[in-house]
């Protein structure tokens, strides 16, 4: 599982520092896979395999917790560690539990086929959308217009939106998806795979089927997999 800025924000982590020789060296958690955490380091550090090290995990409330771990492997500017899960710090325990749960869910995501789920008016509320009407916009937000999500998958989305010259001719654009929980609003970067023009007596609409470009927000992935699991 790739650790993105959005995931750390969701976990309310502001920074992680490696404690080394009475210094705190800012480092970055890049991946968590099968219980192994991969950090990028600001400088080369020689770690013997199995060495016990510690990290200072700072949360948004400005609380600092010490995470102990053992070196699994290391290189020029990175190290892999196995965190110790037994500790008395409740906040750190909650953080470790959430990471483990997310890793398990993302592993499940990776094994699934690219299933599509229908959203539209019928399932917008079940999907957790704050409103049926979402928005699509071009680079720099030069054009912003409403859209409705017709269907979704982990790596794709199909929307319908009023036809405009700008949107019709864009290959890449952005879709803002607002959920009932304001903290879970996501911006998805979409690449148009194909479009279809739909006309009524008064208006013209575009149906846009899109591939979502990485990095795809973890909230979107979790919402889609949750819907797939609810489908009969």
Say whether pLDDT at 112 is over 60: no
Neighbours of 190 (CB within 10 A): 22
Average pLDDT over residues 11-40: 90
Does this model's pTM top 0.75? My answer is: no
CB proximity list for 223: less than 8 A, separation 6 or greater? 127, 128, 179, 184
Q: What's residue 88's pLDDT?
A: 79
End-to-end CA distance of the chain: 28
Say whether pLDDT at 110 is over 70: no
Residue 108: pLDDT band with limits 50, 70, 90: low
Q: What's residue 165's pLDDT?
A: 67
Task: Give the tokens for residue 18.
Answer: 């490696």
Q: Are 137 and 189 in contact (CB under 8 A)?
A: no
Q: What's residue 109's pLDDT?
A: 61
pLDDT tens for 59-80 read 987 778 999 999 999 888 899 9
- d(C-alpha 201, C-alpha 181), whole Å: 37
Q: What's residue 232's pLDDT?
A: 60
Neighbours of 80 (CB within 10 A): 19
* 90, 91, 97, 101: CA torsion to nearest 10: 150
pLDDT tens for 125-178 read 999 999 999 999 988 767 889 999 999 998 999 999 988 766 777 889 999 999
Q: What is the average pLDDT score of the chain? A: 87
The percent of residues above 70 in pLDDT, for the chain, comes to 95
- d(C-alpha 160, C-alpha 136), whole Å: 10
């Amino acid at each position: 599982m790739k650790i993105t800025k959005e995931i750390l924000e969701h976990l309310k982590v502001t920074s992680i520092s490696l404690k080394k020789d009475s210094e705190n060296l800012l480092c970055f958690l890049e991946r968590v896979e099968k219980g192994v955490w991969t950090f990028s380091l600001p400088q080369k550090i020689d770690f013997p395999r199995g060495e016990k090290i510690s990290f200072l995990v700072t949360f948004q409330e400005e609380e600092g917790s010490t995470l102990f771990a053992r070196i699994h492997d290391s290189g020029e500017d990175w190290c892999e560690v196995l965190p110790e899960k037994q500790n008395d710090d409740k906040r750190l325990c909650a953080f470790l539990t959430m990471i483990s749960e997310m890793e398990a869910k993302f592993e499940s995501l990776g094994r699934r086929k690219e299933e599509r789920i229908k959203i539209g008016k019928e399932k917008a509320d079940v999907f957790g959308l704050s409103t049926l009407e979402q928005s699509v916009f071009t680079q720099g937000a030069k054009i912003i217009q409403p859209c409705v999500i017709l269907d979704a998958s982990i790596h794709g989305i199909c929307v319908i939106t009023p036809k405009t010259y700008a949107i019709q001719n864009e290959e890449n654009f952005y879709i803002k998806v607002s959920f009932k929980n304001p903290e879970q609003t996501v911006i998805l970067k979409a690449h148009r795979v194909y479009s279809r023009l739909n006309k009524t007596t008064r208006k013209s609409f575009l149906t846009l089927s899109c591939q979502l470009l990485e990095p795809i927000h973890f909230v979107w992935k979790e919402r889609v997999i949750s819907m797939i699991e609810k489908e009969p």
